[in-house]
Amino acid sequence: MEFKFFLVLLTNFIIFTLTQSYLVEIDDGLIEGTTMQTRYGVEFNAFLKIPFAKPPIGKLRFQKPEKNDKWNGTLNATAYGPICIQSVGRYEISEDCLHLNVFTKNLPVNNLKPVIVYIHGGSFDQGSGRNHGPLYLMERDVVLVTINYRIGALGFLSTGTADAVGNMGLKDQVMALKWIQQNIAKFGGNPNNVTITGLSAGGFSVTSHLVSEMSRGLFHRVITVSGSITGYERFESDYLDLAKYLATKVNCSTSDITAMIACMQEQSAESLMKIDLSPTRFSCPFNLDYYPVIEKDFGQERFFSEHPLKTLSNPEKLAKVQVMVGITEHEMFYLVPLALANERFMAMMNENLPSVVYHCFNLDHQPKDVTDLRTIYFGHNKIDQRVFNGLGNFFSDGTIGHGSHKLVQMISNYIDVYYYKFTYIGRYSVFNYPREKPFGMSHADDIQYVLNTWYVGEDINITDPENLMIERMTRIWAQFAWTGNPNNYADEYIGEMRWPKYDTKDEYYMEIGQHLIEKHGLFLERFSIWDQIKNFAAKRTALNLLLIIFSFLFVKLT
């Protein structure tokens, strides 16, 4: 009997020892987290739902984030919090969502480890820090942070007045990065070695931080996955018409902007996010409803004070950090069935392709001649299901591929850039077509080998064939976070890789597939067409200038 009692006590002690969590104290107060395990049974600490800003409710709706208040007692950080208000999702939603999650194996704190901050995608109207989990990356020697930020109207509504200047979601990200600088050392992370990474709209976000003065000094490396600010030419200073449309849908008067915003601050967040925006948009199967803006100056700290492409062109204004840029082989092929099912859109593709290119790919002008574009993607055929692959490449390049190409070309003369194309096809994909099997390597497929996701497929076990790619990708990410260079010749999983920096002469990139292969010139023939289309306005301006000069000389000579 005594022996059984001893066994019970010993068992309870072991269970307590294995499941106890550390208390971490920051300036805001004590935080109690929980423990998790990697696939190999390695334990790590998880601190969930840590507030980094005040709840953006009431008068704080549509405004920049404000520092959160300290808490009394111990913050319970053992469970995920709600995600930011959105129209779709599988988790609890709330406007009180400005939280972050910290995952670390470095407690009690030993030597400080690199920090990787993941900024989720979702077209700026969906997604959360819960979409991507820590189980794979925590097998490496890093600290991981995932964050929420405001999305949709609550994160990006802009009136062009001081009432709602816009870019609230991006400023939330800045606030989270400031929190990391102030507090991450208590969790074993190095505030002087922070890598920001993001997918899709998250990639747009992390490349936006490259050029924003608000973000300067808050990070030291960038990994952008299938997304770049350089994919967007048309930046506005407001979306007042859209704001007024939303106001009318919740019975707010639009005659006075200040009163309109005050009225919208009193409406339920859910009612604003559920408004159907389809009457306000062009018939694209892949357009964004909300965009960041170039803020007008009302005395506030501005996230964008000028066009981001102008800032990127000035090396003095560019953050001097190492950058890794990646795309997948079949980025936007999942849009093809959606487009083919949209008769109105397909009619526009055949009858007015310049208008489609202008509206759907965010150009700052409507191109007059798209003959080369039509030829390279569709040949001389009618645009329909017979050019399925051409449509897939067209959507992929116009939305993601060319923007990434433009980014590496613009910044590689000033900072170290590593460029890759992901081609590995496993069993799980965002786009299973036509027989419920992966069509290829789609948009958002590659991140599943770095962070476990619920929307792609099952978590991958160490005995699964895809485990090789998890071992490889998490090591590449961690190596880059440690050194700013993804190469590690001593590592058994990536030692075969010889990944040179990108330059505009040789245009190196790494093909990450079943093998790691150094290549040159990623999709250059296709991207050159977009170079011509997107540079049309600049060429036209240069031509006009030459005409003026020749006219002036002609007058002088005669």
Known catalytic residues? 200, 331, 443
DSSP 8-state class, residue 330:
B
Q: How many Å apart are CA 209 and CA 204, to the nearest integer?
A: 9
* Burial of residue 157, with CB atoms counted within 10 A of its CB: 0-12 exposed, 13-18 middle, 19 or more buried: buried
Q: DSSP letters along 394-422, please?
A: HHHIIIIIHHHHHHHHHHTTTS-EEEEEE
Q: Exposed, middle or buried, 224 (CB in 10 Å: 0-12/13-18/19+)?
A: buried
Residue in the block written with tokens 């005395």: 299
Contacts of 347 (CB under 8 A, 6+ apart): none
In this structure, the number of other CB atoms found within 10 A of the CB of residue 275 comes to 16
CB atoms within 10 A of CB 181: 15
Q: Which residues contact 15 (CB under 8 A, 6 or more apart)?
A: none
Name the nearest CA neighbour of 126 among 157, 96, 154, 165: 154
Instruction: Say if residue 272 is exposed, middle or buried (CB neighbours under 10 Å; 0-12, 13-18, 19+).
Output: buried
Annotate 124-133 with b (16+ C-beta within 10 A) or e (fewer).
bbbbbbbbbb
Phi, psi for residue 385 in degrees, rounded to 5: -65, -15
Strand partners, 147: 100
Residue pair 24/107 in contact by the 8 Å Cβ criterion? yes
Q: For residue 180, what are the CA distances in angstroms to 66, 249, 436, 496?
A: 15, 39, 41, 34
Burial class (CB in 10 A: 0-12, 13-18, 19+), 239: buried
* 353, β-bridge pairs: none
Sequence-distant (6+) residues with CB within 8 A of 181 are 191, 194, 218
How far apart CA 448 and CA 31 sit, in angstroms, is 30
